Amino acid sequence: MGKRDSGDLKPSTRLVGGGRRAEWTGAPEAPGAVVNPPVYRASTHLYPDMAALKSARANADGAFYYGRRGGPTQWALAEALTEIEPGAAGTMLYPSGVAAIAGALLAVLRPGDVLLMTDNAYEPSRALARGL
């Protein structure tokens, strides 16, 4: 689904079809195309030489460059979640709760702001807040 206009489809239809780009699953008419994107379990990628690595790093936005930056599995999930959330501009996925909290805090706090946090908050979150 992805870039198609799906506003007139029911949520269940949008959910089933979300995150199925041909670049991740293969074109529907191609031999060996799959229904859902495969699970990519790679954190490190191989390149034939340093020039290829430098080129990949320079063009890393939206590319499958390094596992921590995401990959087709995560991108398909984010696209499917965006598809079923009315009015969403996009979806951010985080590898941990602390990363999600950091993303939320850094999105709204500015230099000089004050953040009040309870003493019984999750310790890694408190440590993050102290470091801000």
Give the pLDDT means over successive 10-residue stretches in the chain (132 positions): 61 81 80 83 83 85 73 88 88 90 93 91 90 84
Q: What is the pLDDT of residues 62-87, one digit of tens each?
A: 677 777 777 888 889 999 899 888 88
pTM: 0.68
In sign, the C-alpha dihedral spanning 20, 23, 24, 30 is: positive
For residue 99, being part of any structural domain is answered with yes
Q: What integer pLDDT is reported at residue 6 of this predicted model?
A: 62
For residue 117, being part of any structural domain is answered with yes
The structural domain count of the chain equals: 1
For residue 123, being part of any structural domain is answered with yes
Q: Long-range pairs for 26-33 at CB < 8 Å and ≥24 separation?
A: none
Q: What integer pLDDT is reported at residue 5 of this predicted model?
A: 59
Q: Which two tokens stand for residue 130?
A: 């102290």
Q: What integer pLDDT is reported at residue 132 of this predicted model?
A: 81
CB-count burial class (<10 Å; 0-12, 13-18, 19+) for 67? middle
Residue 7 half-sphere exposure toward CB, CA atoms < 13 A:
3
For residue 112, being part of any structural domain is answered with yes
For residue 60, being part of any structural domain is answered with no
Q: What integer pLDDT is reported at residue 127 of this predicted model?
A: 92
For residue 86, being part of any structural domain is answered with no
Q: What integer pLDDT is reported at residue 65 of this predicted model?
A: 73
